[in-house]
Amino acid sequence: MALRQLSTYVPFLRSFLSAEEEQGGEGEKEEAITLAPARVAVVGAGIGGSLAAYFLRQRGGEAVEVDVFERAAVGGRTGVFTFQGHTYETGASIIHTSNKYLVDLAKEFGLESKMMNVTEIPLGVYDGEQYLFRTGWWKLANIVRSLWRYGMSLFRMNSAGERMLSKFVGIYDMQAMGKSFKTVPELLRAMGGEELYHLTQITAEQYMLRDLGLQEALTRELITGAMYLNYGQGLNVNALTCMASQTGVQENSLWSVVGGNKMIPERALEKSGAHLHKCSVTSVTRRERGGRARYTVETNEEDEGAGRGEYDVVIIAAPLHDKAIQFRDFPTPVYTEEMMATTYHRTVAEFVAGEINPAFFGLDENDRSFPLLHLITDTTQSLAPFPFCCVGVLVPSEEPESANAAYSKPLPEDPSRVWKIFTPRPLSGEEKRQMFKTIDAEATIDWSAYPNYTPPESFPPFELDQGVFYVNGIEKAASAMEMSAVGAMNCALLARDYLHSRVEES
C-alpha cells in the first residue's frame, strides 16, 4: 500500500505497493452504466469529496446533478500556503508511485509531478538526547550502515510488505468491475481475507515484534520514527496503518504535484461538472416520498449562498467525529459508538525560516552530514526539552524536480533554510529559539490531522442510510490521500448502484 510517504530510509527495499505492474485495475472493466437524472449532494471537497464527485460522473454518466458543499478551501487536508515568497505543502505532501488513483489522475489532468529526494539527504533518528542512527551523503555507505544496524529484519519487513501489497492491489480490479462494499471490514476482507482486517485489530508493536519477529532496534528506531512523522503516534497505532507507511522507500518512489497536491482535488472537482457551494452543511433530514428516501441538506445561515436543497443521495466526505452535521429522522442513528469512538489527532505544522542550531542536537555546526530530516523516537515525547515529531528541510511546492539539489546541500554550505516541524502542540517562541540560532519568519498551521489509532479498531459503515454514504470511515484502517480515493470510489459506486436500482424497481 505504501500509501503514505516515507518510512525507512533503506533505498533498496521494495515498497508496499511498488511496481506499477502490480497495481491492478488495468484488466477487465464493467459495462458502462448511465443513470437517469437524479440529485446528489457531496459534503466536503477534500480529495475524498472531489474524487467522489468525479468518479460518480465517470461511472454514472452526465445526467446526475452534483452539488458539492465545502466550508473552507477545496483540497481539505491537502493544501499549500505562501511563506517568504514561496508556496509549501502544509498537509499531505507525499504520494507514492504505487498510489494508482493519484498517479493516474495526475497524468489525466496533465499535472507536472516531481520525485522527492528524501533518500538522498542525511537522515537522523534522534531520541531527544542522542542519534540512534544516522545516514550521510554516500548511498553505498548508507546501505552498509542500515544492514549493520538492522540486519535481516529489513528483509523480513520487506517481505511482509510485499505480502500486503499483493492483497491491497486487488481493490483496483474490484472497483474497475464495479464492486462496492457497505462496510470497511467487508472491503478489507475482500482484498486480503482475514489478514488485512486482522492487522487493524492489533498494534504495530505486536505485529512487528511478536508476529514478524523484527529486531527491537529497527522497530523502535526507524519504524517508530516514521510513525511519528506520518501519524504523530508511535507503535500503538494499528498494524495496517503502520504497514501502509512503513515499508521501504525505493529511490524514485515518492513524488508530489508541482504547485501542490491540492491540484488533484481542484481539477477533479472542475472536471466533474459539479456545482461548488462555499458553505457549511449543518443538517441532513430524511423524508420518505412514495416509498423512497429523499434528503434535505441545510447549510449554515450565515454563510454566503446558504440554503437548503433536496437530494436523492448524500455523500459525506468529511470526518463526522465532531458531530457538526445533524442527521434528522434517520431510522438508525448515524452517530453510533463506532463513529464516536474516533477522535482526531492534533498535529501542528510549525514553519521556521532561519538557521537551525546544530548544538541543540549535540552536533557541531560544521558537520556536513547534519540531518536534513530528523525522525524522532517516542522517548523524545517525554525526554526532549519539548515534544516534536520530526524536523525536516522543505522544498517549495512550485519548484520543479530539477531544483531539488539546490535545497539539499550540506547545512554548512547554506545555513539558512525553511524547516517544517510537526509537533503535538504549538511551540513557544522560547522553544523555537532553542532550536534555531536565527529566525527570519515563522508560521503555524494547526491540523485535526488523522484518527487517533486505538486498535482493535471499530469502523463506521460506508452506508449510513439507503441513500447516504460516508467516505471517511476508511481512515480508521489508515489515513492517506489514496485511502480517501479508494473510499471515494467505493461511495461513488454505492451511490450509483443505489440510484440505478431505484430506476430498475420503478
Ligand X SMILES: Cc1cc2nc3c(=O)[nH]c(=O)nc-3n(C[C@H](O)[C@H](O)[C@H](O)COP(=O)(O)OP(=O)(O)OC[C@H]3O[C@@H](n4cnc5c(N)ncnc54)[C@H](O)[C@@H]3O)c2cc1C
- Smallest distance, ligand X to C-beta of residue 450, A: 6
**Of the two residues 293 and 471, which places its CB atom closer to ligand X in the complex?**
471
Nearest to 135 by CA among 256, 204, 229, 221: 221
Count of beta carbons in the 10 Å neighbourhood of residue 352:
25
Distance separating alpha carbons of residues 58 and 64, to the nearest angstrom: 11
Among positive and negative, which fits the CA dihedral 387, 392, 397, 398? positive
**Of the two residues 228 and 450, which places its CB atom closer to ligand X in the complex?**
450
User: Interior CA angle at 479 toward 477 and 485, to 5°?
Assistant: 100
Distance separating alpha carbons of residues 91 and 422, to the nearest angstrom: 10
**Of the two residues 376 and 481, which places its CB atom closer to ligand X in the complex?**
481
- Smallest distance, ligand X to C-beta of residue 256, A: 8
- Smallest distance, ligand X to C-beta of residue 50, A: 7
Give the rounded distance of the alpha carbon of 238 from its chain centre. Answer: 15
User: Interior CA angle at 225 toward 221 and 228, to 5°?
Assistant: 145
* Amino acid in the structure at residue 499: L
Q: Which residue has the cell 468525479?
A: 54
Distance separating alpha carbons of residues 268 and 108, to the nearest angstrom: 10
**Of the two residues 150 and 462, which places its CB atom closer to ligand X in the complex?**
462
**Of the two residues 145 and 271, which places its CB atom closer to ligand X in the complex?**
271
3-state DSSP call for residue 434? helix
Binding site for ligand X (CB under 6 A): 3-5, 43-49, 69-72, 76-78, 91-94, 280-281, 317-318, 324-325, 347, 349, 447, 449-450, 471-472, 479-481, 484
Distance separating alpha carbons of residues 102 and 196, to the nearest angstrom: 22
- Smallest distance, ligand X to C-beta of residue 309, A: 13
- Smallest distance, ligand X to C-beta of residue 394, A: 13
- Smallest distance, ligand X to C-beta of residue 209, A: 26
**What DSSP state is assigned to residue 481?**
H
Q: What is the DSSP string of 315-344?
A: EE-S--TT--SEEES-SS-SS-HHHHT--E
- Smallest distance, ligand X to C-beta of residue 436, A: 21
**Of the two residues 91 and 358, which places its CB atom closer to ligand X in the complex?**
91
Nearest to 41 by CA among 312, 400, 358: 312
* Amino acid in the structure at residue 65: E
The 3-class secondary structure across 71-92, one letter per residue, is: CCCCECCCCEEEECCEEEECCC
**Of the two residues 48 and 358, which places its CB atom closer to ligand X in the complex?**
48
- Smallest distance, ligand X to C-beta of residue 472, A: 5
* Residue-wise burial string across 303-319, b where 16 or more C-beta atoms lie within 10 A, e elsewhere: beeeeeeebbbbbbbbb
**Of the two residues 109 and 155, which places its CB atom closer to ligand X in the complex?**
109
Distance separating alpha carbons of residues 307 and 314, to the nearest angstrom: 16
- Grid cell for residue 40: 446528489
User: Interior CA angle at 440 toward 437 and 444, to 5°?
Assistant: 100
**Of the two residues 38 and 349, which places its CB atom closer to ligand X in the complex?**
349
Distance separating alpha carbons of residues 488 and 468, to the nearest angstrom: 13
- Smallest distance, ligand X to C-beta of residue 2, A: 10
**What DSSP state is assigned to residue 455?**
S
Question: Which residues, in sequence order, are CB contacts of 493 under 8 Å at separation 6+?
Answer: 55, 59, 175, 178, 179, 180
**Of the two residues 135 and 479, which places its CB atom closer to ligand X in the complex?**
479
- Smallest distance, ligand X to C-beta of residue 88, A: 12
- Smallest distance, ligand X to C-beta of residue 116, A: 10
- Smallest distance, ligand X to C-beta of residue 138, A: 27
**Of the two residues 215 and 238, which places its CB atom closer to ligand X in the complex?**
238
**Of the two residues 76 and 392, which places its CB atom closer to ligand X in the complex?**
76
